[in-house]
Every structure is written in C-alpha cells, then in structure tokens.
C-alpha cells in the first residue's frame, strides 16, 4: 500500500456530506484515523513495538493507535504481570499517547472471547474472571480520557450471542463500578464482522446500557477487510466495502443514532488495495461521527513476509 493512500485516509481537514439523511449525533470523540501496532498480540513470542514509530506516524497525521495484547494475566482471573506491564506494555501506551496531544490509544484485549479455546461464560472463563482484567486496567488507565478500552478482539463461533452480550454488559458494569469513565468498544460476533453486525449481534448490543447514563461512551467495534473472504490474509483486494458500511451506517442511525469504529481493516501492497482502501476510508470519513474512525492493520515493526504488513506504513527504523 503506497504511503499516499494512508495519508489520504488520515487527513480530515475536508469532510464530505454523509450518505444518510439522518442527522448524526454529536460526537465526544474527534474523527480518528490510525494504525494497529502489532506485536503484543502474539501469545508466546511478542515483538515490542519501537517507541520511535509513534511520533513518526503522528507526524503523518495519525491520531489513533490500537495496541493489541494477548494473555494480559498469566493465570485465569489472576493479576496482570506487573513486571511485563511496567517494562513493556505501559511504556508502549505512554509513547503512543505522547506522540501528540490529540492522540488516542485503544487498549485491545486480543483473545477472541476465549481462554485456551474455551469461550467466556459458555464453557470457559466466568464473566467475573473476564471482568477482572478490565477492572485492573481501569485502575491503571481509568483517569485518562484518551485511552479507549477495546473489550475484546474478534469474538467468533459463539454458541449463544445473547449470552455473549450479557458478558459484555457485565464488563461495562464492572468498569464503571471501578470508577473508569473511558470510552468502551463493544464487540459483536463473527470476528467482529461489520457485515454481520446489523443482523447478528447488533440488535442485542444496542440494548447494552452504560451506568454513566446515555450511550455516548459505548462505541461498537467492527472489522472489515477487503480481500475475497474478509480474512485479511490475501494481498489482493476484491471489494471496497462501501455497500457493507452503508448498511452499517443505516442500522446505527436507525437504532438510537449510535456510533461504531472500524478498528481493523486493510489490504496488501497492491494497486487493487490502494484503490479500494481509499474508497472505503472515504466513506468512513464521509459518515463521521456515525463511524467515528478507523485503524489499519497492521503497521510498525513486524514480519515483512506477512501479507498485510506493508512497507508504506513502516517507518524507517533501525
């Protein structure tokens, strides 16, 4: 993907008219555009994202970093590994926040609603064990309004979606009881599919309530890649997702005038992906604040053989 594509996607000075005639709600968040910084999302061997990359990206207009992390606790329901957190993850978060005064960070729990393959509250961890991670993170980041909590990355093959939504509500309640007022990203099912959201988890997730009152700080978390099977594993793109995201916008605006964020999208270093990604992100920008922003997967220090690692979004680092 050529760098010009990313720059065009993250420059928000000129906004086009929204596609819908519904008047969108006012947003407490600015229009967000940025990248996922892969590395901590690998459960055994992690790559620590170099701190220098955040100022590089911020200088190019990025104002959002999503920082995935698996296995935040060494034992199920236990404490976060403070040595690892203090030496690695938190310095990464702080470097991202320090890259500019308007940068936001998504702290992303990258576990697919599972522990050792077992699904939360459906044969696996209890809701209390799940919420324990977030109450600990609330104690660490609950006073920083620029830290967004990504409750769970890509739940999938969930036997009972309603039970999963109950788990999401449990965590929302626990985070608020811990005193945190951060924005919360609520994930659906089917790998957080933006396409499935309006007919699958969406009608249930819109009923999740915030003890703070209102729904301004509850943002739906959706993903949509541009390759043939929406897996993000192919270098070529076959869709610009305009139809899918238009349907999503209509659903959100007709169900309480709600908001979502496209926290994962992207394609390979090909002409088809440059063209289609630009079309997709133009629609995202046009529909702010219903779609509050996006985050491209993936950028920064990473394995250069990975199909969606693109040299265009990798700064020149030693």
Q: List residues with catalytic annotation.
A: 154, 264
Q: Are strands 118-119 and 114-115 parallel, antiparallel or unpaired?
A: antiparallel
What is the spatial distance between Cα 272 and Cα 240, in angstroms, rounded to a whole number? Answer: 9
Phi, psi for residue 274 in degrees, rounded to 5: -60, -45
Cα–Cα nearest to 230, from 245, 249, 247, 218: 245
The burial of 65, by beta-carbon neighbours within 10 Å (0-12 exposed, 13-18 middle, 19 or more buried), is given as buried
């Amino acid at each position: 993907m050529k760098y010009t594509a990313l720059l065009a996607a993250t420059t928000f000075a000129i906004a086009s008219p929204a596609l819908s005639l519904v008047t969108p709600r006012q947003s407490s968040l600015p229009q967000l555009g940025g990248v996922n910084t892969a590395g901590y999302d690998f459960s055994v061997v992690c790559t620590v994202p170099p701190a220098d990359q955040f100022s590089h990206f911020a200088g190019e207009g990025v104002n959002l970093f999503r920082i995935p992390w698996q296995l935040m606790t060494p034992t199920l329901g236990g404490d976060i590994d403070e040595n690892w957190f203090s030496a690695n993850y938190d310095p990464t978060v702080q470097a991202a926040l320090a890259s500019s005064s308007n940068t936001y960070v998504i702290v992303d729990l990258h576990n697919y609603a599972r522990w050792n393959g077992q699904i939360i509250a459906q044969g696996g961890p209890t809701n209390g064990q799940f919420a324990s991670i977030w109450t600990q993170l609330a104690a660490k980041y609950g006073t920083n309004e620029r830290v967004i909590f990504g409750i769970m990355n890509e739940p999938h093959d969930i036997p009972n979606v309603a039970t999963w939504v109950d788990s999401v509500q449990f965590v929302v309640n626990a985070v608020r009881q811990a005193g945190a007022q951060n924005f919360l990203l609520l994930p659906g099912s089917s790998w957080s599919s933006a396409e499935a959201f309006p007919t699958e988890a969406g009608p249930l997730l819109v009923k999740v309530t915030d003890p703070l009152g209102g729904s301004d700080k509850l943002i739906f978390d959706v993903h949509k890649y541009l390759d043939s099977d929406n897996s993000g594993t192919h270098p070529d793109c076959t869709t610009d997702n305009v139809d899918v995201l238009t349907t999503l916008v209509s659903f959100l605006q007709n169900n309480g005038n709600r908001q979502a964020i496209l926290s994962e999208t992207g394609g390979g270093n090909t002409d088809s992906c440059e063209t289609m990604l630009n079309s997709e992100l133009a629609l995202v920008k046009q529909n702010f604040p219903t779609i509050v922003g996006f985050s491209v997967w993936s950028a920064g220090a990473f394995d250069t053989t990975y199909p969606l690692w693109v040299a265009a979004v990798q700064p020149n680092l030693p």
